[in-house]
Amino acid sequence: MARPLLLTLTIFLLASILIQLRLVHELDQSISHDAKYLFSSKEQATLQKSPACYPHSKVAIPKNSIVPPSDIQVLIGHAHPLISLSWSTSKPFTRIYFYHIRKAGGTMIRKYLNAVASHYNIDLRIQENKYAKEEVGSAPGTLYVTNLRDPVERSISLCHILFSHFKYEGRWDCKQLVKNHSFVPTKANAKRFEDWKETNGFVPSDCDDSFSFTNCAVNCYVQSFSGEGCSNDEWKSEYQLAKERLFRYNIIFVYEKFKDTNYIQAIENFFGVSGFNKASDYWCGAQAHKANKKIPLVVGFEHVMKLTKLNEIDIRLYKETTLCDNWAAGNYDFCSDILFVGHENRTVIG
Ligand SMILES: *[C@@H]1O[C@H](CO)[C@@H](O)[C@H](O)[C@H]1NC(C)=O
Ligand SMILES: *[C@@H]1O[C@H](CO)[C@@H](O)[C@H](O)[C@H]1NC(C)=O
């Protein structure tokens, strides 16, 4: 009984990996890189390194305000205000801004950053769900932090029982599950995975909709980081803007690495505070877990493939940010001169 199931799962996983690889390859061929227009070559050298692989303490302050995504088409190939980035160092950090990506280990990170902030007696500002309100690099002395997870895994989580976006906030009405004691989860009131395929979850988003991670099934990273919930060029301009903004964060946590003790050590060294990756509860988790146990989710292979295909731009962004050439053999090269702990002139309490 168990063996055929294991075999089926293995085949399924292998197939999905192959298809993802294929998609990324196709995307590499199809998306033209206009990034060269966005940065001068000198600046590009710095920005090409992902802060997931190379956390840094620099701040890229745009001299002009960021171009609204709607205007970007006009600007591609022309002088772009993002060219005039001025780099400065933000040390010592007196504040942390965390843009919390849901269902990617964010609740644990919040707790950890809280411990960091109280250790150094500095401010911590957390934002969740909507578009980031604070432009990356706009406040001096601030360490900008965000987190990522494989976008398809984040949505449906084939390997993990816990922590998937669809199984929690997509499938169930969490408000009912948590607050309404007479609400009984059934197959009839569970929402269908097959229908969860739009930019706004079960429905397409309007361009001027306010983005929300709770209601997002397609290209959530590109939407959230670019600040645009729709596209008229198959996400090309949103992808560019999202990547440019994402690469200006000082550090990006990668969910897939959280089990790696070397990674945990590198982060704890970076901040000079222990306790990264301690288990933590999250809203609606226990209730939805119970409901999913009662009514197991059966996911059709073709629907997973469809969702994967719909999320191809997000997958690309995720891979470009998290495939780190300096991470070979579990060696996380968080260069020592930017360690948070090493900053001068800060009162350390606790
Ligand atoms: C609580 O759940 C019951 C049963 O599903 C439903 O009839 C009722 O309208 C719900 N109450 C609220 C306030 O949503
Ligand atoms: C720390 O304080 C000393 C003495 O006031 C000063 O010379 C030094 O520049 C400060 N360092 C930083 C990084 O602000």
Q: How far apart are CA 109 and CA 98, in angstroms?
A: 9
Q: What is the mean pLDDT of the chain?
A: 74
Nearest ligand for residue 180 CA: 1
Query: 242 or 339: whose pLDDT is higher?
Result: 242
130 falls in which pLDDT band (50, 70, 90)? confident
pLDDT at 54: 86
pLDDT tens-digit series, residues 301-334: 888 888 899 999 999 999 999 998 888 767 787 7
Q: Which residue has the tokens 């294929």?
A: 22
Confidence band (pLDDT; 50, 70, 90) for 213? confident
Q: How far apart are CA 257 and CA 264, in angstroms?
A: 8
At 10 the pLDDT is 65
Nearest Cα to Cα of residue 116 among 273, 264, 249, 251: 273
101 CA from centroid of ligand 1 (Å): 30
Rounded Cα–Cα distance for residues 217 and 197 (Å): 6
Q: Report the atom number in ligand 2 closest to the C-alpha of 344.
A: 13
> Does the beta carbon of 180 sit less than 6 angstroms from any atom of ligand 1?
yes
> Is 344 touching ligand 2 by the criterion CB < 6 Å?
yes
Regarding the beta carbon of 30 and ligand 1, being less than 6 Å apart is answered no
Residue 28 has a pLDDT of: 42
pLDDT at 195 over 70: yes
Phi and psi angles of residue 94, each rounded to the nearest 5 degrees, phi first? -120, 10
CA–CA distance, 269 with 76 (Å, rounded to integer): 41
| Strand pairing report for 58-62 and 85-89 | antiparallel
3-class secondary structure, 147: strand
Residues 6+ apart with CB under 8 A from 171: 190, 191, 193, 288, 291, 292, 297
Q: Which residues pair with 252 in a beta bridge?
A: 146
Q: Rounded to whole angstroms, how far apart are CA atoms 275 and 267?
A: 10
Q: How confident is the model at residue 46 (pLDDT cuts 50, 70, 90)?
A: very low
Q: What are phi and psi of 32, to 5 degrees?
A: -85, 135
What is the C-alpha to C-alpha distance for residues 251 and 338, in angstroms, rounded to an integer? Answer: 11
Question: Which amino acid is residue 213, in one-letter code?
Answer: F
- Say which residue, 147 or 194, is predicted with more confidence: 147
Q: Among 344, 346, 348, say which to mutate for ligand 2: greatest number of ligand atoms within 8 Å of CB.
A: 344
The pTM score is 0.70
**Residue 85: phi, psi to the nearest 5?**
-85, 140
DSSP assignment of 197-250 equals -BTBBTBPPPTTSPP-STT--SSHHHHHHHT-S--SSTTHHHHHHHHHHHTTSS
Using the atom order of ligand 2, give the atom closest to the CA of residue 92.
13
Closest CA to 52 of 122, 164, 144, 120: 144
Tokens 């969740």 identify what position? 128
Ligand located closest to 182 CA: 1
- What pLDDT sits at residue 3? 63
> Looking at the predicted structure, is the pLDDT value of residue 289 above 90?
no
Any atom of ligand 2 within 6 Å of the Cβ of 345: yes
127 or 87: whose pLDDT is higher?
127
Task: Report which bound ligand comes closest to the CA of 141.
Answer: 2
Higher-scoring residue by pLDDT: 303, 28: 303
pLDDT of residue 82: 44
Q: What are phi and psi of 206, to 5 degrees?
A: -80, 155
